[in-house]
Amino acid sequence: MTYSVAVSGASGYAGGEILRLLANHPDVEIRTVTAHSSAGDPLVAHQPHLRSLRDLTIRPTTPETLSGHDIVFLALPHGQSGQYTDALGDAALVIDAGADHRLTDAADWAAFYGGEHHEPWAYGVPELLTPEGKQREHLRGATRIAAPGCNASTVSLSLAPGVAAGVIDAGDIVSVLAVGPSGAGKALKPHLLGAELLGSANPYAVGGTHRHIPEIQQALRSAGAADPRISFTPVIVPMSRGILATSTAPIAEGATDAQIRDAWQSAYGDEHFVQLLPEGQMPRTADVIGANTALIGLAIDRPANRVTVVTALDNLAKGTAGAAIQSMNIALGLDETTALTTNGVAP
């Protein structure tokens, strides 16, 4: 069976990455691409690297345009996709790459986003630990999926094994992330100009204000944390893609070094796209660019009594679009790895 697909937000970074990955998917036909201000333009005028899709023209993003497809991807700014989801009842599968359907708590939505809180959907991080095992079990047969925030999934995947195994204290987490500016979207903003970025590292959303914090806490509660608390500091650095997240947490009383490492090895030893590196090795963002891979390095800092987890992934691939398509594959009963690669692009 071939599934017809519509992708909204096709002129943006997330929409473009969804299209790049779907273009190599043998079970889908990209039939419609939509956007707002760029409607009427050829897709390649905004995504010139997508040469196999050069015959597509961007159409206006309306419920009428999106309806009638088997699968709809919404790659819209936060707060905008909810207005379309109620009108897409005829779509067998809708996947939202924005935040509108990620949070289960309306109070968290009000505090960090504001506006109407929409129904939470199945969370699109298949490898995330849950009381039932892994989140992929909730994705099988799902018809509505919320793709994750890239920073949130990076930190959640970093720490969930330690939380679930009880070898770290989730009440004192510190995460500092080096993040490529593509995570902020394609809209023209002065602080994202090359002249402002090159040669500089710029912290943002400091002091508990970043919108991905409640998403991380929600994921860690799902892994077993009673009251996760996190100091979260993202820093924009001059690389177009990638996240390098360094997260630390206190070692739980009595946890041995072997138990700590076994927690991550047990969680990810059989996973295809989340890989724990050998002891003593740390990941680089350069090794995951273009891949649906998260690489994790683990260090046990006994003098500080903390576990340090360093995770690298491509924010547009595994962080957003790759996670969305991996979740789509699971929901449809396809091979989970279809159209996704573990191999990065180098140099």
Q: Which residues are catalytic?
A: 150
Q: Please identify which residue in the block is written with the tokens 């939509």.
A: 34
| CA 322 – CA 312 distance, rounded (Å) | 14
Contacts of 96 (CB under 8 A, 6+ apart): 74, 81, 85, 121, 144, 145, 146, 147
| CA 284 – CA 135 distance, rounded (Å) | 26
Rounded to 5°, the CA angle 243-248-253 comes to 155
Angle, in degrees to the nearest 10, between helices 257-268 and 150-165: 130
| CA 64 – CA 134 distance, rounded (Å) | 36
Nearest to 148 by CA among 171, 123, 129: 123
User: Strand (E) positions, 37-164?
Assistant: 58-60, 71-74, 93-96, 122-123, 129-130, 133-134, 144-146
Take residue 176 and report the two structure tokens written for it.
Answer: 């500092």
| CA 306 – CA 336 distance, rounded (Å) | 34
Contacts of 209 (CB under 8 A, 6+ apart): none
Q: Which residues pair with 21 in a beta bridge?
A: none
Alpha carbon distances (Å) from 1 to 29, 93, 174, 332: 10, 15, 46, 11
Residue 78: exposed, middle, or buried by beta-carbon count in 10 A (0-12, 13-18, 19+)? middle
